[in-house]
Amino acid sequence: MISPRITEIKKLFADAESAIKLYERIGLDNIISAVNELRYAGEHILAAETAANPDDCETALLRAERHCIRARYDALESTIVTLLEQFGAIRQSGISSDEMMGIFPDWKSALQKAVAAQKLIETGGAVRDADPMALKAAIDDLLEYRYRLLAIEPQIVAKRNEIIESREAQKREKAASIAADRERKARNEKIVQDRQFLLSFSATVSGSLIGLLGTLIAIYGTFPEFRFLGMVVGLVGFVIFTVASYRLSREFLVARPGEAKSAMKGTTANL
């Protein structure tokens, strides 16, 4: 004889099956764990029907009851978790809460419901302590907001694309600014190098002229004092010419390696 508790277990079985169907109906993947729990429950119900004595029947029904409760909880919990993931996907899309509220004014209220549902499954404790009605109420709240968000999905996608384009534009603007700074720095450095080159070149010419003048005075000077002065002037001109030539060659070979290589190639080709 089947225990009167079979009616209660059938109700639990039906509740679990309904939760699984809800999970599947909203377009989510199959829930394997809950389905397996119902399969185990069915096996124990069959065992109860064929039990040889009332004690074995009662034991089988108790096990079936536990599997039904577990199946119902797994289906409800998985539905909440998956719905929360969809809310999380919106939050991770880069759209701020203020921007989202411009599209969906009840966004903060939806987040509050999501937080409450999250706490519900985190603090529910053991399966036997979980309130199935509270879980169902949380699912109803999340589903309501989910359907409303689906209705404005094109606006959400447009806002996300707008944010992405804005970030890309900022990156391009930053890259252009960096390139402009580098170009300006290179241009300023070129101006400084050109000035140094002109100064070195002018000093080289001046040193050679002063050295030549001093040499002429030292050679053709009428008085010994003039010849001595010419030697000093020539020496000064030689020093100026040497230092300026060194700086000129350094400027040409070190500061302008590209131009130096081109010049050397041209000289080699002429030879």
The model's pLDDT over 176-222, given as tens digits with 9 standing for 90+, comes to 899 889 999 988 888 887 787 777 778 777 877 877 777 777 777 66
CB of 8 closer than 8 Å to CB of 58? no
| pTM > 0.75: yes or no | no
CA neighbours closer than 13 Å in the CB half-sphere of residue 95: 24
pLDDT value at position 128? 53
Question: If you search the block for the tokens 């960096």, which residue do you land on?
Answer: 178
> Count of CB atoms within 10 A of residue 39's CB?
11
C-alpha 194/C-alpha 199 separation (Å) is 9
Q: Binning pLDDT at 50, 70 and 90, where does residue 268 land?
A: very low
Top-confidence residue, 24 or 98: 98
pLDDT of 269 over the 50 cut: no
The model's pLDDT over 56-77, given as tens digits with 9 standing for 90+, comes to 888 988 999 899 988 888 888 8
pLDDT value at position 162? 85
C-alpha 171/C-alpha 176 separation (Å) is 9
Listing DSSP states for 2-50 in one string gives --TTHHHHHHHHHHHHHHHHHHHHTTPPP-HHHHHHHHHHHHHHHHHHT
C-alpha 128/C-alpha 148 separation (Å) is 33
pLDDT of 42 over the 80 cut: yes
The overall average pLDDT reported for the chain is: 80
